[in-house]
């Protein structure tokens, strides 16, 4: 069976968010298990396309101005889709009998020209990683804009039943969780020495010159307004959030909750030991994301990073000392993954304060590493993973008092952190590893080849709910 995976990514490198990382390991694992899978990227020099697809992304998440999509938007969208579908590279790769998986809305504009050339000779699957569990003007506009393309695919895959638009529910749909690979650089086991070497190589800490033998990474981690080594990693206790620079990630609300806790340690440490009080005094917040100039398909990233910079600069100096904003180099995918791996393993707690999250593999990664996670109660993708008070904690991302209270509770209760970590690791292994996803893909491919995919399947969600009740 030939499988062509078309990613939504930009025209420079297939790097960026969780979908890009996931497709790399999914494609590799598929080929190891007998598929003939390849991964292609969406290419264009039209900057209007990236602005448009960011708008689609935001609208599917229910945010943005009350302005519908225009005829010009559709013209740009279909032009880029046709440009890619009719490109020499794509035409050489695709032949009758292939299955094409289009990831997220960006490449859906390719559907019409693919159908014009191949008709039903190829099967097209739309894999959508994002969505919202409610409807408003923005979500209706986004799905209405995409409906002409989705209506021509053979099957759809969504992460949660809540994400499925109404016009799809009566046609063809499967629910499938994203996944991680336990053996890639971001998730592989690291010894204490390996963690320390990665931190030294990336410029986050200084080693002993007498014993250094590893070559520094060509591109170092940068820290806003301060030397990265001043953060004290790995010796200082840290709480970490690692995400794209996106307003939906809840960066500023998280800082507000952090400031509330730091300003009122006496209130949040009542009954705590002196060691616990010292922990709250000394713990630092690490906010890390990609070099904002390195992600081409996210034109808002640099703007959000600048907004965060302004907000940080207005904080009192003693509060600034407790927060580090890190820009992670994206030039080398492996080195970037190792840096993220090391930061997560150095963390007492990983936070994911997203207002919206299709799934949130940063949570999955921390869970797999047995690191306790505090996540967003509002984000469906995070709720799919974290059972409150079992695998971690859920908070209202806009409530600074709740963020402060829950964070202090988790930091002060070492036994609870251990329990969260153990439960989270088991949940990640049971539900969110790449092998589970390959199994699910195989079922979908068989269904599409046998009957065109016109059958709903919500089994992934149902199975998980059954497991949770045990």
Predicted TM-score (pTM) of the model is 0.88
The arrangement of strands across the sheet holding 349-352 comes to 222-223, 323-328, 284-290, 238-242, 349-352, 373-376, 392-395
User: Whole-angstrom Cα distance, residue 31 to residue 38?
Assistant: 8
Q: Give the pLDDT of residue 24.
A: 80
DSSP structure class, residue 109: G
Q: Token pair for residue 186? A: 């971001």
Q: Give the pLDDT of residue 457.
A: 57
Q: Give the pLDDT of residue 296.
A: 66
User: Which three-class secondary structure state does DSSP give residue 374?
Assistant: strand
The secondary structure element, H or E, covering residue 22 is helix 18-32
Q: Name the nearest CA neighbour of 324 among 346, 302, 355.
A: 346
Q: What percent of the chain has pLDDT over 70?
A: 91
Confidence of residue 463 (pLDDT cuts 50, 70, 90): very low
DSSP structure class, residue 462: H
User: Whole-angstrom Cα distance, residue 306 to residue 312?
Assistant: 10
- pLDDT, mean of residues 231-257: 97
**Residue 454 clears pLDDT 70, i.e. is over it:** no
Burial 40-72 (b: 16+ CB within 10 A, else e): bbbebeeeebbebbbbbbbbbbbbbeeeebeee
Residue with tokens 């092998």: 435
User: Whole-angstrom Cα distance, residue 216 to residue 428?
Assistant: 33
The burial class, CB within 10 Å (0-12 / 13-18 / 19+), for 227 is: exposed
User: Which three-class secondary structure state does DSSP give residue 360?
Assistant: coil
pLDDT digits (tens, 9 = 90+) for 413-431: 999 999 999 999 999 999 9
Please, which residues have CB within 8 angstroms of residue 100's CB and are 6 or more apart in sequence? Answer: 4, 5, 6, 94, 114, 122, 123, 124, 125
Which is more confident, 464 or 302? 302
Residue with tokens 């963390």: 347
User: Whole-angstrom Cα distance, residue 249 to residue 57?
Assistant: 13
Please, which residues have CB within 8 angstroms of residue 252's CB and are 6 or more apart in sequence? Answer: 307, 308, 311
- pLDDT, mean of residues 289-299: 82
Which is more confident, 171 or 52? 52
DSSP structure class, residue 120: G
User: Whole-angstrom Cα distance, residue 260 to residue 265?
Assistant: 9
- pLDDT, mean of residues 72-89: 96
Domains, the chain, with CATH or none: 2-179+433-457 (3.40.50.2000), 192-431 (3.40.50.2000)
User: Whole-angstrom Cα distance, residue 217 to residue 199?
Assistant: 10
**Residue 468 clears pLDDT 50, i.e. is over it:** no
Confidence of residue 470 (pLDDT cuts 50, 70, 90): very low
Q: Token pair for residue 386? A: 């974290």
Q: Number of C-alpha atoms within 13 angstroms, CB side, residue 164?
A: 22
Helix, strand, coil share of the chain (percent; to 5)? 50, 15, 35
pLDDT digits (tens, 9 = 90+) for 128-177: 999 999 999 999 999 999 999 999 999 999 999 999 998 886 558 999 99
Q: What percent of the chain has pLDDT over 90?
A: 80
Residue with tokens 């940068």: 222
When the pLDDT of each residue in the chain is averaged and rounded to a whole number, the result is 91
Q: Could you tell me if 333 and 103 are in contact, meaning their C-beta atoms sit under 8 angstroms apart?
A: no
Q: Give the pLDDT of residue 211.
A: 78
């Amino acid at each position: 069976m030939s499988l062509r995976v078309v990613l939504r990514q930009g025209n420079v490198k297939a790097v960026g968010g969780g979908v890009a990382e996931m497709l790399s390991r999914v494609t590799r694992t598929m080929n190891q298990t007998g598929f003939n899978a390849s991964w292609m990227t969406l290419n264009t020099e039209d900057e209007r396309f990236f602005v448009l697809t960011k708008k689609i992304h935001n609208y599917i998440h229910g945010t943005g101005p009350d302005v519908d999509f225009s005829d010009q938007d559709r013209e740009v969208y279909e032009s880029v889709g046709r440009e890619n579908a009719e490109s020499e590279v794509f035409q050489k790769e695709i032949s009758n009998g292939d299955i094409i998986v289009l990831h997220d809305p960006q490449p859906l504009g390719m559907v019409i020209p693919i159908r014009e050339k191949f008709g039903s000779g190829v099967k097209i699957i739309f894999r959508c990683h994002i969505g919202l569990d409610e409807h408003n003007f923005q979500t209706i506009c986004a799905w209405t804009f995409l409906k002409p393309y989705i209506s021509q695919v053979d099957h759809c895959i969504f992460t949660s039943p809540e994400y499925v638009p109404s016009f799809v529910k009566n046609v063809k749909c499967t629910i499938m969780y994203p996944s991680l690979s336990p053996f890639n650089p971001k998730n592989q086991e690291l010894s204490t020495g390996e963690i320390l070497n990665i931190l030294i190589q990336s410029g986050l800490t200084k080693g002993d010159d007498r014993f250094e033998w590893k070559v520094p990474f060509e591109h170092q981690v940068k820290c806003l307004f301060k030397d990265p080594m001043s953060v004290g990693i790995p010796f200082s206790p840290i709480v970490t959030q690692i995400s794209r620079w996106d307003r939906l990630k809840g960066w500023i609300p998280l800082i507000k909750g952090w400031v509330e806790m730091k300003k009122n340690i006496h209130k949040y440490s009542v009954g705590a030991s002196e060691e616990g009080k010292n922990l709250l005094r000394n713990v630092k917040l690490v906010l890390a994301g990609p070099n904002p100039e390195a992600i081409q398909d996210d034109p808002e990233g640099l703007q959000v990073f600048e907004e965060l910079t302004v907000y940080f600069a207005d904080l009192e100096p003693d509060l600034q000392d407790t927060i580090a904003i890190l820009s992670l180099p994206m030039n080398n995918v492996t080195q970037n993954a190792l840096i993220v791996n090391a930061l997560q393993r150095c963390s007492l707690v990983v936070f994911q304060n997203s207002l919206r999250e299709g799934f949130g593999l940063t949570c999955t990664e921390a869970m797999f590493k047995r690191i306790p996670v505090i996540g967003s109660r509002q984000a469906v993708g995070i709720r799919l993973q974290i059972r409150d008070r079992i695998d971690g904690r859920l908070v209202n991302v806009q409530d600074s008092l709740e963020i402060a209270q829950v964070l202090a509770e988790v930091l002060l209760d070492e036994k609870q952190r251990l329990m969260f970590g153990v439960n989270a690791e088991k949940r990640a292994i049971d539900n969110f590893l790449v092998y589970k996803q390959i199994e699910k893909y195989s079922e979908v491919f068989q269904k599409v080849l046998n009957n065109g995919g016109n059958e709903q399947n919500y089994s992934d969600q149902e199975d998980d709910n059954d497991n949770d009740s045990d």
